Amino acid sequence: MYYFIVNPGSRSGAGKNVWQKAEQILEQENVEYRVYFTGYRYHATRIAREITSRTDGERVILVAVGGDGTVNEVLNGITDFSRVLFGYLPTGSSNDFARCLGLPTDTETAVRNLLHPSRFDRIDLGLADFGDRKQYFAVSCGCGFDAAVCHEALSSRMKKLLNRLHLGKLTYAGIALKQLVLSRPGPVTVITEGGRARTFSRAYFVSAMNCPCEGGGLRLAPRADAHDGLLDIFVVNRLNRFFISLMLPTAYAGLHTIFPGVHLYRARAAEFKSASRLPAHTDGEAYFLENAVKISCVPRALALISAPDTHKF
């Protein structure tokens, strides 16, 4: 039995149309499925929790239909990962999860691949402990500038407009330019295994990347791999706004690492500490970091319907 959790509001409403097309294929192929539509933030988490607790003991094929935010919400509702085979039909603005794992984005190809999977994968997830809540993430968890972009993207009119023009991928780039002017760098300490602490005095942002890209294809951690049991820690420190605006476009090609002030290293776990309240995110879902967040990699946590000939970043 397939359980589909659909965010009809993803890509400013395009998710609904994609689902209608997908449903026609399911009917044609006589597939046994149930569909649940989300109506508000965290609804997908509630639905996934309800499905996975109700089907206790059974193996469940759970398919998220939406953007990276919907993937994140569904993952955070799963009560027992060992019973879930996860599938994904991307209908978001940025679709970094699909991009990084080489999953099909064309609706027909993606649905047929879900129904007749020929390849499966087992991927790592990140786990972020904010103190008052724990959040899994599939792509990245960041604090500072990139999270401020996510906060704004959730309510952005620019996102709606660009999605209508089929230019949703540019949303994050546009909002990023605005936030570049507004964001204030501050000290952030990154503590990795063994208590190794490093303080970045003027950090614009600090991210733990499970996958290489966020923000619609920005390859911030070009060598991140969701199969290596590690997170790539990405920091931008002491780089002025002018150079950040030059650096960000080069990140689409993963060439930004040549800029001084860009730091990348790997860890199984890390803690980010900041004296001031910072915007934070997991897979684009926005929160606030009050003081510290502890982040770890959960190796091979998620069984995933993959795709043949995957072209991964």
Interacting residues with ligand ATP (CB under 6 A): 7-11, 38-41, 43, 66-70, 73, 92-95, 154, 284-285
Residue type, 148: A
Min dist. Cβ of residue 103 to ligand ATP (A): 13
Nearest Cα neighbor of 185 from 113, 120, 236 is: 236
Min dist. Cβ of residue 254 to ligand ATP (A): 20
Nearer to ligand ATP, 89 or 307 (CB): 89
Question: In whole angstroms, what is the distance from residue 200 CA to residue 226 CA?
Answer: 26
Min dist. Cβ of residue 78 to ligand ATP (A): 16
Min dist. Cβ of residue 12 to ligand ATP (A): 7
Min dist. Cβ of residue 35 to ligand ATP (A): 13
Nearer to ligand ATP, 64 or 203 (CB): 64
Nearer to ligand ATP, 43 or 202 (CB): 43
Q: Are 89 and 64 in contact (CB under 8 A)?
A: yes
Question: In whole angstroms, what is the distance from residue 77 CA to residue 287 CA?
Answer: 17
The strand ranges marked E within the chain are: 2-6, 33-37, 60-66, 84-90, 120-129, 134-137, 140-144, 186-192, 196-209, 231-237, 262-267, 269-274, 278-282, 285-289, 292-305
> Residue number with the shortest CB distance to ligand ATP?
67
What six digits make up the tokens of 202? Answer: 């003027």
Nearer to ligand ATP, 92 or 174 (CB): 92
Min dist. Cβ of residue 311 to ligand ATP (A): 19
**Residues in CB range of 87: below 8 A, 6 or more apart:** 2, 61, 62, 63, 64, 114, 117, 304, 305
Q: Are 215 and 172 in contact (CB under 8 A)?
A: yes
